[in-house]
Amino acid sequence: MTDQPKHQQETSYKIRQREIMYSVAVEAERLPLLFSGLWFHDDVRNNFYYASYLFAAAVEDNLELPFSREDAKRKAEAVLLETVRLQNRMPGTPLYGHWPLGLSPAPQEAAPHELPVEIMGSLMVWFCKRYSARFSAGLRVAFHTAIGHIYRSGFFRKQVATFGHHEAKYTAAKLIFGQLFGDDLLREDGRHSLEITLAHIRAKGMPEYGSLPWFWHWVQAFTCAWELEEDSSVKLTLSEMLDFLWAERSQWYLQGAWAGAHSRGWPHDVPADGNVLHDYVQFGDIALPAEMPRTEYAGFLYYEAPQEVRSTALNRQLPAEVCKKTEKVVPGSPERQPALHSYAYICKDYAAGGMWERVEEFDNEQLRWAFSLPVPAAAGVNRLYFFHPGHGYQPGDPRHQSPYMEVLYHRNTILSLFPVPEGEDAAIVGVLPPGEWIRQPKALFGYAGNVYFAVYVSQDYELLERPSYLEVTCRNMPGGVVIEALSTDQAAELGIYGLEEFAAAAMKRAPEFTEGESLSAVYTAWSGNEHLQLSLDNKHLGILSQINGKPVSFEHYKV
């Protein structure tokens, strides 16, 4: 695909966007309306997204629909009108110009919330400009009125401080609403915010590393602003921002998977990469999923990533190591925060890696490390990882990790130690993707995708079949886990051609775990026959990482 002429790529992305539009529109037409006249009470934005797609499908001539266009248009308009009317239109009241988020039990009584307008407000401007000529008179008036209230609410009039997704959406809104209402001061604020945000993430990295679905809010907000922008110089800076964002995405990309560490993630992104619609439109190397947990505006907005960025994402024939440094910002703190270092090894069949440091993230949603497989055509988990559950953990939702883990990353191998102190729950949890698995005492050997996995644990374990993955529970920590992955091609180079053969060979390479005052894991990897050691002095919390007898840490890699 990367060798296609540009006009063919554009045709391809438009086809993929129409597939999304068609799929969501069919679902929206099928869904019965609730007593409120809406489809959803969980998140007001879902009504806006579904109604947008149904309306667009009804008025676009290039879609063949299995239902009446006029009926679909009326249904979409009715939902859009009900959604827009939920806005708080009382000047001087808290959260004036905002919408509620959750709508249960009675949408008309739901209190306004600060989040929906951040992204929905800008998207409403885009949708109105694109389709208002096809609106009924009542819907056109409702949209224009709501957009006026959004502007007068001034929700976006905030200074950039943490360089996160909220501020990214404020910045895009400043440009969009400043242009729409001829507000030169707001436009200048938006331009300045855009420039300092871009300069910061270029120099310091994105503080919300791998943060989903919020990374896609960055992409949508700035693509929306780029499509609406009339000033060529501002549009150029928006292009630079979007080039950076897609370059960031491409470095961690493996056929829909986002390799490495994540500062945040929701259940539809952990343990499976489920939020892939923007990847689907941009790269086109995965299937359109049957389930779309975050439809948003992937079927409408598009910015073509630079050719070299697309090539990085789509060409994984040769293994690559990705090393990044990020500096977080703490509001109100004059002190410079310690840098965070992330690492990933990515080849055509799998990826491995994560964050060297463990830090407190919002809602304790950090995914510190994982092995990733390409996103499968059918629903299913595509990650493998272990963690000690911490604050916020619930069985069946394998997120929310405790601080008690140390790691060593080296290409296709990850060593991890869990120095769980007395008084804490002594069990760690592992996620294994669906596949064939051979159980051995203190080891599991599996085949998933085109990859063999050797999973060694220092303690006995129990298995539980979850709906989309296999859950491993190892009790009696402190202890450790060592995992190495080999693609079928890599295994064939070693003379291994099946799972049983792989398991038999892997059993002979089991790591050595030690516990007590000093906790350690020592392992000789298949890859390069290299000697890896991770040791932790429990008493003094000293950490030793070695490869072939030489100390190693994130400074070992180029960052």
For the chain, the first-to-last Cα distance in angstroms comes to: 30
| pLDDT > 70 in the chain, percent | 95
| pLDDT > 90 in the chain, percent | 88
> What Å distances lie between residue 139 and 51, 177, 352, 483, CA to CA?
12, 20, 50, 57
Please state, in angstroms and rounded to a whole number, the distance separating the CA atoms of residues 107 and 45.
Answer: 13
The pair of structure tokens assigned to 425 is 């729950």
Find the angle CA(166)-CA(239)-CA(251) to the nearest 5 degrees: 75
43-69 per-position pLDDT tens digit: 999 999 999 999 999 999 889 999 999
Could you identify the residue written with the tokens 């992409």? Answer: 219
Confidence of residue 527 (pLDDT cuts 50, 70, 90): confident
Cα 174 to the center of its chain, rounded Å? 25
Confidence of residue 541 (pLDDT cuts 50, 70, 90): low
DSSP state for residue 529 in the 8-state scheme: G
The residue among 263, 171, 290, 186 whose CA lies nearest residue 221 is 171
Residue 438 has what pLDDT? Answer: 98
Confidence of residue 379 (pLDDT cuts 50, 70, 90): confident
**Which distant-in-sequence residues (6+ apart) come within 8 Å of 519 by Cβ?**
417, 419, 478, 479, 480, 535, 536, 538
Cα 375 to the center of its chain, rounded Å? 13
> What Å distances lie between residue 271 and 265, 382, 418, 433, CA to CA?
9, 7, 20, 9
Per-residue pLDDT, averaged over 143-163, amounts to: 97
Per-residue pLDDT, averaged over 70-76, amounts to: 98
Q: What DSSP string describes 182-203?
A: T-HHHHHHHHHHHHHHHHHHHH
192-218 per-position pLDDT tens digit: 999 999 999 999 999 999 999 999 999
444-492 per-position pLDDT tens digit: 999 999 999 999 999 999 999 999 999 999 999 999 999 999 999 999 9
Mean pLDDT estimate for the chain = 94
Residue 2 has what pLDDT? Answer: 41
Residue 555 has what pLDDT? Answer: 61
Per-residue pLDDT, averaged over 138-159, amounts to: 98
Confidence of residue 5 (pLDDT cuts 50, 70, 90): very low
Residue 3 has what pLDDT? Answer: 46
